[in-house]
Amino acid sequence: MNLDDLPVVSQVFESGADDRVFDSLLLLGPVVIVLIVLLGRSLLTAVLAVFYLGVFCGYVVYRGATFGS
């Protein structure tokens, strides 16, 4: 089974930015939110949220800096 075979994942990949990393980060966002809701507010979920936001923002800045080069 390939990730592209899943209904929601394939739609995101087809309509996304043609960037697998960015599309994956977009798909992981709701998973992070669900984990935070299920586990409650704790040090682990705070670290997870900060890590996710750091990676997401870092990747967006990286892509912006390398756009066109």
Q: Using one digit for the tens of pLDDT, what is the confidence trace for 24-49?
A: 898 899 999 999 999 999 999 999 99
> What is the per-residue pLDDT for 47?
95
First to last CA, the chain: 35
Question: Which comes out higher in pLDDT, residue 20 or 35?
Answer: 35
Q: How many residues does the chain have?
A: 69
Amino acid of residue 4: D
Indicate whether 10 pLDDT > 70.
no
Query: Confidence class of residue 22 from pLDDT cuts 50, 70 and 90?
Result: confident
Amino acid of residue 9: V
Flag the least confident range among 1-5, 26-30, 55-59. Answer: 1-5
